[in-house]
Amino acid sequence: MLKPPHIHYSRLYTYHIDGTGLPPPADPDLIGAWEEDGKTVIVFHTARDNLVENLCRRSGLKLFYRAELDYDEWEMGREIVPFTVGPLTVAPIWDPAPASIRIDPSVVFGSGFHPSTRLCLESLINFHARLPEHFTALDLGCGTGLLAVGAARLGASSVTAADHNSLACAVTRQNASYNSVESRIQVRQVDLRKKLPSTRADLLMANLHHELLATLFENPSFWQARLFILSGFMPGEEEALLAALPDQPPPFLARRRLEKWCVWVLGKV
């Protein structure tokens, strides 16, 4: 996340460490850290080789990969500039242009500048009017929290935002605060492969890897919402997802593509 004196992202210095339990370094150039699959990733604004090596030495862990890249490379070459979808204009927090939603994109997924997140936001705008006026929502794999904040902006009375990545949870909380909707967004760090939050909501949004989506599709508890916005997959992955659907899935309401990515909207609304 951005913290003073930093007001935007330029270069990223990432350190991949074999092992977990490393205490987060107290450093003004730290962007964030998270643990995943038995490894730790730490990202800084500037090179911190000696600091990371000392942390690893004290913790008995091993640094196995270091990378330096421009921020737009992290975002797959996508320029981080304001964009408008329907009534919502989304802007990074360092851009002075007027915007309905301001987001710190950080170094987690779901900034809105990726096609799958954009598809989900467009679908949310197009279909939320079919839900009750003060609808409830669930954002699985919340990333930056853009979809959770968007749902709150469009009238959701409460949103549960869930992600396995600890930095994504912290960024979502911060972005909820930036947009003054923190009272309506509950953030939960949870591994969806092991535990699924209650899906008894008006709206369920899931922008996830296709293999995880297929696993969730096979869980009857997943299908308790009224409206589903599902993305994170490409056309070649749809067949496996169709095979994972229950015998009587909610009706398909829409299927759209943007670049190489797809979104499905299902539900009884």
CATH of domain 11-74: 3.30.70
Please give the mean pLDDT across all residues of the chain.
93
What is the domain partition of the chain in residue ranges? 11-74, 83-267
**In angstroms, rounded to a whole number, what is the distance separating the alpha carbons of residues 165 and 33?**
9
Task: For residue range 174-230, list pLDDT tens digits in order.
Answer: 999 999 999 999 999 999 999 999 999 999 999 999 999 999 999 999 999 999 999
pLDDT, residue 74, reads: 82
Environment class of 76 (CB within 10 Å of its CB; exposed 0-12, middle 13-18, buried 19+): exposed
Tokens for 185, please give them.
């967004």
Architecture of the 83-267 domain: 3-Layer(aba) Sandwich (3.40)
pLDDT, residue 24, reads: 82
Task: For residue range 82-138, list pLDDT tens digits in order.
Answer: 999 999 999 999 999 899 999 999 998 766 678 899 999 999 999 999 999 999 999
The residue ranges of DSSP E strands in the chain, in sequence order, are: 11-18, 30-36, 39-44, 62-70, 83-85, 88-92, 101-103, 136-140, 158-163, 185-189, 203-207, 227-233, 252-258, 261-267
Strand 158-163 with 136-140, pairing: parallel
> In this structure, what are the phi and psi dihedrals at residue 184, rounded to the nearest 5 degrees?
-105, 0
